[in-house]
Homo-oligomer: A and B are copies of this chain.
Amino acid sequence: MKKTICSILAVTCVCASAFAQTPSPLNLDGKSYPCINPDKSVTFKFTAPDASSVTVDCGKSYQMVKDANGVWTATTDPMIEGFHYYSYKVGGISFTDPNAYTFYGTGRDCSALEVPETAEKADYYTPKKDVPQGAVRSLRFYSKACGEYRRMYVYTPAGYDENQKQRYPVLYLQHGGGEDERGWIYQGHADVILDNLIAEGKAEPMIVVMNNGYAKHPGSTDSFDAFEEMITEEVIPLVDKRFRTIADCDHRAVAGLSWGAKQAYDLALGYPQYFSYVSGFSGIIVIGE
């Protein structure tokens, strides 16, 4: 009898697991699709009775199939865990999913889905009740180099407001190509990761400054030609004035992702009087012209 119960339980578990679908955590509240299947494939579904052909592109392109009710469906191959941009395509137009949040990536506001990791693997970027939380500030500033008002994001660690005597080192952190100053916070959970690392004693409390890397002189066709001038002549003095930084090159680092890594190398190697540390993730180095 005991064996039978065990067998039934085992079968029940297998079935439950086989049919367990989870809506992507980046869906709007109450929206079921896209959903993640147990094998980490993703099922997309939405209603568009008048469309004649729909594809979904999430790194690979999939033709969707319409049922009698005008509902289009596609299921992908198993996907890598984590964050993915995606878009639908109808009539030659690429567009975002009305059922999911968008994030600025691929040079536009773009739909995204999350293939969840195990709790253990996601631990480092999961907010926790027992971890003191910092804050992210959005600051507008006028850039003479670019001839426009711009926005930067600044992470200050937990305790920044309370410990009024404490000064902090600063990390300048740049997003990848097609993203902007929001990327490290909204896509990358940089604030949560830092809260967790600092609470564990794995990172020193620091200020993190995130700017839009697309910074050009007025009228220029080079999207980046004002970036270094803006950071060194405008952003660093402003941050050192507005925040309790340790304002010397020994306490100033720069890092970035992809194109942002290239910008980080250029800043660190070109302006050693400002930066003593540099790091690049999936970086690009451009040699020569």
- Which residue numbers of A lie inside 8 Å of B, CB to CB? 28-29, 46-54, 70, 88, 90-96, 98-99, 101-102, 107-109, 127, 129, 133, 135-142, 149, 154, 161, 164, 185, 191-192, 214, 223, 242-243
Contact = CB atoms under 8 A, between A and B. Distances in A.
Contact of A91 (B48, B102, B149): B48
Contacts of A101: 109
Copy count, this protein chain: 2
A29 B214 contact: yes
Nearest to A216: B29
A170 to B, nearest CB: 15
B107 A28 contact: yes
B139 A133 contact: yes
A91 B50 contact: yes
Contact of A98 (B29, B94, B139, B223): B94
A38 to B, nearest CB: 23
B149 A140 contact: no
A140 B127 contact: yes
Nearest to A223: B29
A29 to B, nearest CB: 7
